[in-house]
């Protein structure tokens, strides 16, 4: 899950989602899959919009385990109004104005990791050239996710270039709950 927005809202909403997903799992004995998690997150943002809104935009990526081993990665674009779309690429914030056109032109199904990195380099070059604030030192992170569920030897790239906005990726795992619990474990271990 990649989030952008004010740090306090990102932290509060991220922890709220994490704790409530665990509570759901304990009560029902079922872990939510990727689409169910995306719909839950979207619903919670929409519900909070009417009383105490969180100013959080998200990109949620998931690869679900299935008995048939035919699961494919998915990426959900969710904004702070509770709008959601399943997308092949995404970005939020000012960087999205420059990068989405590049993603739209360059993205193709089954891109190799090197091709995906080339697209991100084009986005970075565009931001360096056209973005108003240019200091030459972008704080960004790109995460590569290995598709272990499908047991393939190729990398899948489904996280987006939101790194130019200073956003952070809060963990990685084939299962949404696994990466949330890993993220929490890593955070609590570093204190």
How far is 68 from 142, CA to CA, in rounded Å? 30
pLDDT at 165 over 60: no
Q: Provide the CATH topology of domain 2-189.
A: 3.60.20
How far is 80 from 169, CA to CA, in rounded Å? 17
Q: Convert the pLDDT of each residue in 44-103 to its tens digit.
A: 999 999 899 999 999 998 877 665 556 678 899 999 999 999 999 988 888 888 899 999
pTM of the model: 0.70
* 21 or 143, greater pLDDT: 21
Segments making up each domain of the chain, as ranges: 2-189
Specify the pLDDT at position 174: 37
Q: Convert the pLDDT of each residue in 102-145 to its tens digit.
A: 999 999 988 888 888 899 889 888 888 887 776 666 666 666 66
Q: List the alpha helices (DSSP H) in the chain.
A: 7-28, 34-49, 94-106, 113-130, 176-189
pLDDT at 152 over 80: no
Specify the pLDDT at position 76: 94
How far is 153 from 169, CA to CA, in rounded Å? 23
Specify the pLDDT at position 62: 85
């Amino acid at each position: 899950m990649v989030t952008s927005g004010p740090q306090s809202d990102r932290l509060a909403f991220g922890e709220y989602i994490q704790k409530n997903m665990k509570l759901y799992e304990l009560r029902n004995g079922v872990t939510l899959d990727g689409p169910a998690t995306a719909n839950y997150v979207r619903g919670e943002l929409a519900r909070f919009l009417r009383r105490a809104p969180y100013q959080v935009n998200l990109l949620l990526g998931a690869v679900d385990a299935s008995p048939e081993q035919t699961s494919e990665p998915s990426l959900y674009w969710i904004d702070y109004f509770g709008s959601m779309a399943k997308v092949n690429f995404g970005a939020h914030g000012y960087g999205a104005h420059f990068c989405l056109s590049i993603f739209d032109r360059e993205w193709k199904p089954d891109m190799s990791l090197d091709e995906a990195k080339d697209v991100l380099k084009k986005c970075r070059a565009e931001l360096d050239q056209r973005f108003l604030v240019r200091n030459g030192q972008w704080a960004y992170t790109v995460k590569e996710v290995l598709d272990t569920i499908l047991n393939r030897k190729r990398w899948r790239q489904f996280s987006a270039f939101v790194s130019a906005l200073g956003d952070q990726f809060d963990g990685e795992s084939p299962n949404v709950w696994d990466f949330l619990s890993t993220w929490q474990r890593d955070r609590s271990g570093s204190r």
